[in-house]
Amino acid sequence: MTRTLQAKLLVLAVFIAGVLSGAVIINTYEQRVQGSERRLELYDRNRDNGQAHNHESFEDYLGLTPGQREQLSEILKDSQESYRELRKRTRPEYRAIRDTSRQKLRSILTVEQRKRRKEWNNRERDHRPRSPRK
């Protein structure tokens, strides 16, 4: 094999390796970044549709009349409001306990461990689907 042919084959191999690397990187990006965004959108849409479907299925299973369905809807709306009010009242206490615990944990960690803990938390947060608070 001549040196010219070897050089051409080497250039071709580098080109193919670049194309394959690019394809893998694009595929990984689409699956990890764009895929997680799509999964969150589907999660939110399915959750909302699922709740409505569950209520309808529950009402159908019980054989509720239209009047009972309206009453159930009002009961659920009132209980949601009660849960929101409870959350508003207890959230400051919950956050105080959480912040105190975090402060205690930080106090026992070295600087390097704190840095690694922050990286861990960021990675976990980025991979956890979050539902919007109402």
Tens-digit pLDDT profile for residues 125-134:
887 766 555 4
Question: What average pLDDT does this structure show over 7-18?
Answer: 86
Residue 119, H or E segment: helix 111-127
Q: Across the chain, what does the average pLDDT equal?
A: 81
Q: How far apart are the first and last CA of the chain?
A: 71
**Token pair belonging to 40:** 């969150």
Q: What distance in Å separates the CA atoms of residue 41 and residue 132, rounded to the nearest whole number?
A: 11
Residue 41 has pLDDT above 70, yes or no: no
Q: What distance in Å separates the CA atoms of residue 89 and residue 58, rounded to the nearest whole number?
A: 31
Report the pLDDT value the prediction gives residue 24, as an integer from 0 to 100.
81
Of 56 and 113, the structure prediction assigns the larger pLDDT to 113
pLDDT in tens, 55-84: 788 888 888 899 988 998 899 888 988 988
